[in-house]
Amino acid sequence: MIRLHHTGFVVKDIAAWEKNMLFENKIKEVIDPIQKAKLALYSNFSDSFIELIQPLEEDSFTMNALLKSGNHFNHFCYHVDSIEEMNEVASKYKLIPVLGPVPALLFDNEQVAFFYGRNRQIVEFLISTL
């Protein structure tokens, strides 16, 4: 069953952004070598989360987005029960694969995949391994 997992924001500085952000608890912060970014996950008074992404290198996947748009909303991430379910959703909505599945350090190495939507939006899937 597909469900919203988190909303992602690209930011220049996680610590500075966090000071003015409404959230319940900071759950985890990691340096992800695949995404070349510092990532932080927060609970937000609901059953979904907030992710902050701070690109660390020029060739980070999100650096161009930060340089072009500054701090901004970047993506929705949906939790799916299988790769097959992800592929069905991606096909139905004509999503274009960008990256993955790859292990996500922020999510205890669960697999994630990124797609580009027809409305020029990034869509991420967190694939359950349970």
Give the CATH H-level superfamily of domain 3-127. Answer: 2,3-Dihydroxybiphenyl 1,2-Dioxygenase, domain 1 (3.10.180.10)
Query: What is the model's pLDDT at position 130?
Result: 54
Tokens 């790859």 correspond to what residue? 102
> What predicted TM-score, i.e. pTM, was given to this entire model?
0.91
Report how far apart, in Å, the C-alpha atoms of 6 and of each of 58, 97, 129 are: 25, 19, 18
Q: In what order do the strands lie in the sheet containing 110-116?
A: 25-32, 37-43, 49-55, 3-10, 72-80, 122-127, 110-116, 96-104
Query: What is the model's pLDDT at position 37?
Result: 95
Q: What is the pLDDT along the chain (130 residues), one digit of tens a residue?
A: 899 999 999 999 999 999 999 888 999 999 999 889 999 999 999 999 999 999 999 999 899 999 999 999 999 999 999 999 999 999 999 999 999 899 999 999 999 999 999 888 999 999 987 5
The residues spanned by each domain of the chain are 3-127
Query: What is the model's pLDDT at position 31?
Result: 96
The one-character DSSP state at 5 is: E
Query: What is the model's pLDDT at position 63?
Result: 94
Query: What is the model's pLDDT at position 118?
Result: 87
